[in-house]
Amino acid sequence: MGRALIIGCGGVAGVVIHKCCQNSDVFEEIMIASRTKSKCDAIKEKLDGTTATKIRTAKVDADNVDELCALIDEYKPDIVMNIALPYQDLTIMDACLKCGVNYMDTANYEPEDTDDPEWRAIYEKRCRDEGFTAYFDYSWQWAYKKKFEDAGLTALLGSGFDPGVTQAYCAYAQKHLFDEIDTIDILDCNGGDHGYPFATNFNPEINLREVSAPGSYWEDGHWVEIPAMSIKREYDFDQVGHKDMYLLHHEEIESLAKNIPGVQRIRFFMTFGQSYLTHMKCLENVGMLSTTPIEFEGHQIVPIQFLKALLPDPATLGPRTKGKTNIGCIFTGKKDGKEKTAYIYNVCDHEECYREVGSQAISYTTGVPAMIGAAMLLTGKWNKPGVYTVEEFDPDPYMEALNKWGLPWQIDDKPVLVD
The DSSP element (H or E) to which 180 belongs, if any, is strand 180-190
Longest Cα separation, the chain: 69
Output the smallest distance, CB 31 to ligand NDP, in A: 13
Smaller CB distance to ligand NDP: residue 106 or 332?
106
Paired strand residues for 6: 32, 81
Output the smallest distance, CB 90 to ligand NDP, in A: 12
Q: Is 324 exposed, middle or buried (0-12, 13-18, 19+ CB in 10 A)?
A: buried
Output the smallest distance, CB 365 to ligand NDP, in A: 7
Query: Which residues make Cβ contacts (< 8 Å) with residue 334, sequence separation at least 6?
Result: 178, 179, 180, 182, 340
Smaller CB distance to ligand NDP: residue 151 or 357?
357
- By C-alpha distance, which of 110, 107, 247, 132 is closest to 187? 247
Smaller CB distance to ligand NDP: residue 9 or 229?
9
Q: What is the DSSP letter of 316?
A: G
Output the smallest distance, CB 179 to ligand NDP, in A: 29
At 270 the three-state DSSP class reads strand
Smaller CB distance to ligand NDP: residue 183 or 360?
360
Smaller CB distance to ligand NDP: residue 178 or 237?
237
Output the smallest distance, CB 261 to ligand NDP, in A: 24
Q: Which residue is nearest to ligand NDP (CB)?
A: 10
Smaller CB distance to ligand NDP: residue 151 or 327?
327
Quote helix, strand, coil % in the chain, to nearest 5. 40, 25, 30
Binding site for ligand NDP (CB under 6 A): 7-13, 34-36, 39, 60-63, 83-86, 88, 106-107, 158, 160-164, 202-203, 206, 314-315, 366
Output the smallest distance, CB 336 to ligand NDP, in A: 34
Smaller CB distance to ligand NDP: residue 34 or 53?
34
CA distance 309 to 256: 35
Output the smallest distance, CB 155 to ligand NDP, in A: 15
CA distance 192 to 214: 25
- By C-alpha distance, which of 45, 54, 16 is closest to 359? 16
